């Protein structure tokens, strides 16, 4: 067995918490949790990978020209850590239900407004609760899709590639958004 802190396999505790660089990133950064193979908790949905928004629903209606269409996010999921990298931000968190270990970074909309967010897995759903706001952002699996409940819309995302893929290996790091998705099995369903 490999020691969790060896170069071949590091535990989540050995990897420093990542943050959004000042002004946000402009080219996809490498994966944060590379080299870690700790499995997520049993109650966590399988969200690991690069995901692209393929459908957006607002008030029960599909919106064909919504700005979130085509949005790509990388979700790394190891141990109780989850890292969302997308749209210039890196939100690194522990999904333990505490503010102390949640997201302490900047908001996506301006890359400067500080945010503090509790992260947890609740009934097979990744739930984010920003401090001081009465909202939740939720991610869960439905078959082959990731369902992302965000502010004012629900997005359906298609899996593109494993999160361990370094976008630099694709050539132009922005090409990760254009990857053709290989077949991926549906998330396992809970037995009754």
Classify residue 188: in a domain, yes or no. Answer: no
Check pLDDT > 90 for residue 39. yes
Q: How many Å from the N-terminal Cα to the C-terminal Cα in the chain?
A: 34
- The pTM score is 0.86
Please write the tens of the pLDDT for every residue from 50-64.
Answer: 999 999 999 999 999
Please write the tens of the pLDDT for every residue from 147-187.
Answer: 999 999 999 999 988 999 888 765 555 566 555 544 454 55
The predicted pLDDT at position 174 comes to: 57
User: What's phi and psi for 146, nearest 5 deg?
Assistant: -95, 135
The predicted pLDDT at position 178 comes to: 57
State the residue for tokens 């890292």.
83
How many structural domains is the chain composed of?
1
Kindly state the DSSP code that residue 51 receives in the 8-state scheme.
E
Classify residue 185: in a domain, yes or no. Answer: no
Domain range enclosing 106: 5-178
The predicted pLDDT at position 166 comes to: 82
Cα–Cα distance measured from residue 123 to residue 130, given in angstroms and rounded to the nearest whole number:
19
Q: What is the largest CA-CA distance in the chain?
A: 51
For 9, the 3-state DSSP assignment is strand
For 173, the 3-state DSSP assignment is helix
The predicted pLDDT at position 43 comes to: 93
Classify residue 59: in a domain, yes or no. Answer: yes
Classify residue 105: in a domain, yes or no. Answer: yes
The predicted pLDDT at position 129 comes to: 98
Classify residue 94: in a domain, yes or no. Answer: yes
State the residue for tokens 């001081």.
132
Asked if 9 and 35 count as a contact pair (C-beta separation under 8 A), the reply is yes
Please write the tens of the pLDDT for every residue from 107-121.
Answer: 999 999 999 999 999
List the CATH number of the domain containing 167: 2.40.128.20
């Amino acid at each position: 067995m490999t020691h969790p802190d060896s170069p071949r396999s590091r535990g989540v505790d050995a990897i420093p918490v990542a943050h959004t660089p000042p002004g946000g990133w402009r080219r996809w950064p490498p994966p944060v949790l590379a080299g870690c193979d700790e499995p997520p908790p049993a109650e966590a949905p399988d969200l690991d990978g690069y995901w692209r928004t393929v459908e957006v629903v607002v008030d029960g209606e599909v919106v064909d020209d919504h700005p979130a269409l085509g949005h790509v996010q990388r979700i790394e999921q190891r141990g109780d850590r989850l890292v969302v990298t997308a749209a210039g931000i890196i939100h690194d968190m522990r999904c333990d239900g505490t503010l102390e270990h949640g997201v302490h970074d900047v908001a996506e909309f301006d890359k400067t407004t500080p945010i503090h967010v509790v992260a947890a897995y609740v009934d097979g759903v990744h739930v984010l609760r920003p401090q001081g706001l009465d909202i939740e952002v939720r991610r869960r699996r439905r078959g082959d899709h990731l369902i992302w409940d965000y502010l004012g819309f629900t997005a359906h995302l298609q899996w593109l590639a494993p999160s361990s893929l370094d976008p630099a290996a694709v050539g132009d790091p922005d090409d990760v958004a254009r990857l053709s998705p290989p077949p991926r099995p549906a998330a396992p369903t809970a037995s009754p």
